[in-house]
Homo-oligomer: A and B are copies of this chain.
């Protein structure tokens, strides 16, 4: 089983200190929701966000939406356990059989529901759930923690080796638009002796990294037998 952990995901409710800004109030009113119950979205709340801390990493829920669609659509999905760690340290578990809304606006509505109810169910099955755990708890039962980052000192071959040689792996991908991991996050990763891998020495999007990791995982573990012979 592969644990896929999206780190510092740009997904959060509107913070109370900007909830009275006209750009937020207007959007909340149109959607008939309370300002602090809507997801922060740079495309609509840009004007309200200018004084937020770490502003350049926030208000981009489209990033995790696209990454999740790519993961859940893949043939690797049934071997992947998906976790979303958000920029404000919420941990969301996503059932790998969940059929996530493909429409962005509906995805936002679902996330607002999730933050309100802390769990989304359909027919007695939990689809999405906010967990009462810390980021470090996700790494306690794995053999290896791997982080994808432009600044990594290892390359894609190392990732293939990890997939071939280890069973329980956590792969971490940042899901924010700009900037680096926070020091707190890096400290936790280092505590678990994380390996840092650069797919390339150029900036690449979270979506591309996700696609590439999934494809390599499929090649190494999902579509190959033990001798590395491809099924397809």
Contacts and interface: CB of A to CB of B under 8 A. Distances in A.
Nearest to A155: B232
Contacts of A199: 232
A126 to B, nearest CB: 23
A159 B211 CA distance: 18
Interface string A29-71: 0000000000000010000000000000000101100100110
Contacts of A104: 62, 103-105
Interface string A140-160: 000000000000000111000
Contacts of A62: 102-104
Contact of A200 (B63, B75, B215): B75
Instruction: Label chain A's interface by main secondary structure.
Output: helix
A159 to B, nearest CB: 10
Contact of A105 (B43, B75, B207): B43
A74 B211 contact: yes
Interface string A158-181: 000000000000000000000000
Contacts of A207: 69-70, 73
Interface string A70-106: 1001110000000000000000000000000011111
